[in-house]
Amino acid sequence: MKILTVNGGSSSLKFNAIELPEEKELISGYFEKIGLEGSFYNIKINGEKVKHEVPLKNHMDAVEYLKKELFDNHIIESLDEIDGVGHRIVHGGDKFDHSVLVTDEVIKELDSVVDLAPLHNPPMVECIKAFKNIMPDTPMVVVFDTAFHQSMDIEEYLYPVPYEWYTEYGVRKYGFHGTSHRYIAKSAAELLGRDDLKIISCHIGSGASVCAIDAGKVVDTSMGFTPLAGVMMGTRSGDVDPSIIPYVMKKTGETCEEVVNDLNKKSGLLGVSGVSNDSRDIEDGIANGNERCVLAQNIFCKKVANYIAMYNNELNGADVIVLTAGLGENSSATRAGILKNIASLGVKLDESVNNFRGETRKITTEDSKIPVYVIPTNEELMIALDTYEIISNQ
Ligand code: ADP
């Protein structure tokens, strides 16, 4: 079966075509600056990447180019050869605890959770409509970033705020990166040959979250009502005292939205270093003696380590810790920094194996009390597998 996975942002669209059950990637690409000046797209096939600069007025235009690339690269001869399309959706509220087939009813339900993700969900729904337009009879599936975390208990997801905020307005912890954490839980279970594992999964890319998983069920996760909460990230602050917001509003004259935007876009590694949100630039800064880069890196590693320690407590002792995503898979300095800060858990880094990128590997010594693995995440494969399973059982 040929499955397309789609990840639509407000001005972007990423896609992969995957052959299942072989799990073979056929082609992938991403469209950027949709609706803006300088729009373009990249296509990757057989390890080669080609960039095309084209005007993209809206997501429909992007989908038309995507279709053209599928034909031109002989991935398909007819659209009927696409057996299903899996769409990533950021927020499913508390309505969706697993991936579902797209129906009119589901689209209505998605509209009803728009308030919770006003920036993210609408372009994703636009993408579903754009694909429905060119392939009205192809089954489509939606896969939610929040769904995996719906297995959390109320003691973990309820904030200690007026209870009516929860019952009336849906204020609670939802958690994000669920598709990645679920992929890690599945991969760790396969790797270690156990399905009862207590796992601390650390997805540390430009967004970052830590998740405590017990036998496939989420016990707790660091992102919250929105993806702003939890550990420090590339441009996001992670947890801060909310009283900072009215204080900075008074001092700067900014609106509440502007200050929250600062917490989302101008904080984290970028805010502390003043250099970049990208850990490669931070590492260069450290090599050149930039003290704020050193500070940014140290705070980042401590924040992640502190969540690991907290979740080790919540799990009553983890069996395994997994590092994944951009930094987890590629930055040996970040891995070493995090592990140094969880030495109190008896975790011991094996420095002789830590210098690598993008592969599955154990990075702790044999006598480390908890083994730590690097496992590259694959959210697209997870979306494709869900789509494959749902349409196969239709
Ligand atoms: P997202 O999918 O959320 O955009 P990724 O998981 O791809 O993010 O992570 C991107 C981040 O990973 C980059 O901003 C950078 O900080 C980090 N990263 C990627 N490659 C490397 C590398 N070779 N060394 C250090 N950090 C890296």
The position carrying tokens 């929860």 is: 166
Ligand 1 atom having least distance to the Cα of 269: 16
Mean pLDDT, the chain, rounded, equals 96
**Distance, CA 279 to ligand 1 centroid (Å)?**
7
pLDDT digits (tens, 9 = 90+) for 140-189: 999 999 999 999 999 999 999 999 999 999 999 999 999 999 999 999 99
Residue 125 pLDDT greater than 90, yes or no: no
Q: Are 58 and 10 in contact (CB under 8 A)?
A: no
Which runs of E-coded beta strand occur in the chain?
A: 2-8, 13-19, 24-32, 40-45, 48-53, 82-89, 100-101, 140-144, 198-204, 208-214, 217-221, 320-324, 361-362, 372-374
pLDDT digits (tens, 9 = 90+) for 76-89: 999 999 999 999 99
Mutate to test the pocket of ligand 1, among 279, 281, 382 (most ligand atoms within 8 A of CB): 279
Question: Between the CA of residue 269 and those of 234, 235, 243, 261, what are the distances in Å?
Answer: 5, 6, 21, 15
- Which has the minimum average pLDDT: 58-62, 212-216, 238-242, 300-304? 58-62
The residues annotated as belonging to the active site are 145
Q: Is the CB of 286 under 6 A from ligand 1?
A: no
Check residue 8 and give its pLDDT: 87
**Distance, CA 4 to ligand 1 centroid (Å)?**
24
The total number of residues shown for the chain amounts to 394
> Regarding beta strands 13-19 and 24-32, do their DSSP bridges make them parallel or antiparallel, or are they unpaired?
antiparallel
Same fold, 2-144 and 194-379: yes
**Backbone Cα Rg of the chain:** 21
Domain ranges of the chain: 2-144, 194-379
Check residue 234 and give its pLDDT: 96
For the 2-144 domain, the top CATH level (class) is: alpha beta
Residue 369 pLDDT greater than 90, yes or no: yes
Q: Dihedral, CA atoms, 155, 159, 165, 170, nearest 10 degrees?
A: -70
Check residue 124 and give its pLDDT: 87
Q: Which helix (H) or strand (E) holds 70?
A: helix 59-72
Q: What is the distance between the alpha carbons of residues 268 and 280, in angstroms, rounded to a whole number? A: 14
pLDDT digits (tens, 9 = 90+) for 61-110: 999 999 999 999 999 999 999 999 999 999 999 999 999 999 999 998 98
Q: Is the CB of 208 under 6 A from ligand 1?
A: no
Residue 9 pLDDT greater than 90, yes or no: no
Q: Are 193 and 240 in contact (CB under 8 A)?
A: no
pLDDT digits (tens, 9 = 90+) for 278-287: 999 999 999 9
Helix (H, G, I), strand (E, B) or coil at 349: strand
Classified by CATH at the fold level, domain 194-379 comes out as: Nucleotidyltransferase; domain 5 (3.30.420)
